[in-house]
Amino acid sequence: MTHEMIVAYGRNREIGSHNHLPWAYGTMSADMRRFRNLTEGKALIMGRKTFESLDHPLTSHDRTNIVVTSHRLAHDIGVSAVGTLAAAYELADRKHRQAIVIGGQMMYCAALSQTDTLYATEIAADFPGCDAYFPALPADEWSEVAREHFPARRGLNTHPMDFVTYQRSISPRLPLEL
């Protein structure tokens, strides 16, 4: 199976501030709708901090949650904990689910070399005070295959953004372990 990744980041590739999104929850409705649509029916692979930042497991829309962690988790229905990224991909495959990495910074860094498709929301705004960032894409390894612009709209999207799809243009490198 191919491996996917989904991320939303600011102008400086910022993705988080103290284990929360840098923008206020509910202010980027189009991005949230895109996230839901692109993750429907898939195995969501995330790190422990990302999982703990959620109010509840993302099991609606027939999704499976896989958390990569060395810590013990209180298991919720629809949540599996594994020790490595490789184990997360294996579990998704056993469950016959397309795997998509949803964060955070450590997971993005570890999974990027194994990712075939990246769905990015590029927000045209700066978010000072962030402590988590998305890694830069090596330009010689990735190609932009789609871009759709969304202007800021009061009550819907606080900031202008582009939905961008990137495809790996060369073969993935050897897997890295988290």
Bridging pattern class, strands 14-16 and 43-47:
unpaired
The pLDDT of 164-173, averaged and rounded, is 82
| SS3 letters across 81-138 | EECCHHHHHHHHHHCCCCEEEEECHHHHHHHHHHCCEEEEEEECCCCCCCCEECCCCC
26/120 Cα distance (integer angstroms): 18
Average pLDDT across the chain, whole number: 90
Structure tokens at 110: 């570890």
State the residue for tokens 């939303």.
Answer: 8
pLDDT tens digit string along 81-113?
A: 999 999 999 999 999 999 999 999 999 999 999
Domains of the chain: 3-168 (3.40.430.10)
